[in-house]
Amino acid sequence: MKTDSMLKQDVIDELAWEASIDAAAIDVAAEDGVVTLSGYVPSYVEKWTAEHVAKRVAGVRAVANEIAVRLPGDNVRTDSDIARAALLALEWDVWVPKQGITVAVSDGWIKLEGTVESHHQKLAAARAVRGLTGVKGVTNLIAVRPAVEPAEVAATIKAAFQRSAIVDAHGVQVETHGGRVVLRGTVRAWEERAAAEQAAWSARGVADVDNQLIVQAGVSCQDKLRAYLRDNKVPFMMQHHRVAYTAQGVAASEYLPGQLVAKVVMAIADGDLIMLVLPASHRADLAKVQARVGPSRLRLASEHEFADRFADCELGAMPPFGNMYGLAVYVDRSLTLDQAIVFQAGTHSETIQISYADFERLVKPIVVDIARSSRMAMA
């Protein structure tokens, strides 16, 4: 479990990483997974963004947003100006119905009321106005009244959970009472909680979602890895990207050459798990591995043979730190030719970059030629 100081630092780093906000004047406190944001920002949309940035950090169970909005002098608008701009923004948004929503503004704070047919329309209305100049806050009181009757809501929501790359369907229970949905159970992160709620709202006929899911974060692979790097004074850079299930997909998502992104291949040598690390653009050559490593029996490991060893990681997103899991690590020689190494950080949507020298110092891998068409072989 992250300590309060670790969680605070992770939130600070995440806020600094977010390019759409200036976090210089934002203060962060953390206690038992509850993060409090204070300080000030120059716009409401930055206050809103800061809260959502904090919620995507692993280990955050709740966020108290006490950030003040201090508008620069040239951004101050009268309530009448804001009301007119809000009505125009709603009118021009393709997702917002043309009728049924009313706007009231008091001291820069917008209040939305009325009815719409779906939750995404309610969210679209708030999204359309929160970034307007002069806005200090938005209260969304729009009610959702579906035009269709709900049918097999629980089954469709559970099916959506099964398809989701974020939501663990086994940890969420779904109850339905007509058009009202109640979600109960535990999830690993705030992002998973939000994704479960969004999936429930997406079912046709849903008028209300009571999200009672509890964020119960365990010690994730990513938490362990970042703490390990910090304890060993290793500078690192973390990157978020769209979900990718292959190392080549990760490289494409981050616009990096496949040679720079390391992938992990698990093998079994004489009955023992070993970790092979090679460029995303290459394939493991088992004949080379056998010739260099020398086992009498060698084969690729199936997922069920190593899933328990990496229970704290998303399956297939293990970092190349086999030493943290009691495994021998063999790295392809071509990776040693680059100054940096990029690898998955235990999830399918995040990577970490460190210097190869630091990687070698910590992991102490055995360097061998184990990849097909490696740069050394082609030279």
| pLDDT for 291 beyond 90 | no
Among 96-105, 132-141, 364-373, the minimum mean pLDDT is found in 364-373
CATH 3.30.300.130 in the chain, residue ranges: 153-215
Tokens 């030279």 appear where?
379
- Say what the pLDDT of residue 348 is: 85
Q: How far is CA 74 from the centre of its chain?
A: 35
pLDDT band at 315 (very low <50, low <70, confident <90, very high): confident
The CATH T-level fold of domain 73-144 is: Histidine-containing Protein; Chain: A; (3.30.1340)
**pLDDT of 9 above 90:** yes
Residue 214's pLDDT is 83
Is the per-residue pLDDT at 366 higher than 80? yes
Q: 133 versus 194: which is more confidently predicted?
A: 133
Kindly report, residue by residue over 318-361, the tens digit of the pLDDT: 999 998 888 899 999 999 998 999 998 888 888 999 999 999 99
Please, how many CA atoms are within 13 Å of residue 377, restricted to the half-sphere of its CB? 11
* pTM given for the model: 0.57
Which range, 64-73, 286-295, 298-307, is most confident? 64-73
Mean local confidence (pLDDT), 47-69: 93
Residues carrying CATH 3.30.1340.30, the chain: 4-69, 73-144
- Tell me which architecture the domain covering 4-69 has in CATH: 2-Layer Sandwich (3.30)
Split at pLDDT 50, 70, 90, the class of 224 is confident
* Of residues 230, 219, 213, the one with CA closest to residue 312: 219
Q: Which residues in the chain are classed under CATH 3.90.960.10?
A: 221-378
Q: Give the tokens for residue 114.
A: 């009325």
Q: pLDDT-derived band of residue 314, with 50, 70 and 90 as boundaries?
A: confident
Mean predicted lDDT score pLDDT of the chain: 89
What pLDDT score was predicted for residue 69? Answer: 96
Q: What is the pLDDT of residues 147-197, one digit of tens each?
A: 877 778 888 898 888 888 778 777 788 988 888 999 998 887 788 888 999
Q: What is the CATH number of domain 153-215?
A: 3.30.300.130
Binning pLDDT at 50, 70 and 90, where does residue 217 land? low
CATH code reported for the domain at 221-378:
3.90.960.10
**Is the per-residue pLDDT at 26 higher than 90?**
yes
Q: pLDDT band for position 30 (50/70/90)?
A: very high
Residue 373 — very low, low, confident or very high, per pLDDT cuts 50/70/90? Answer: low
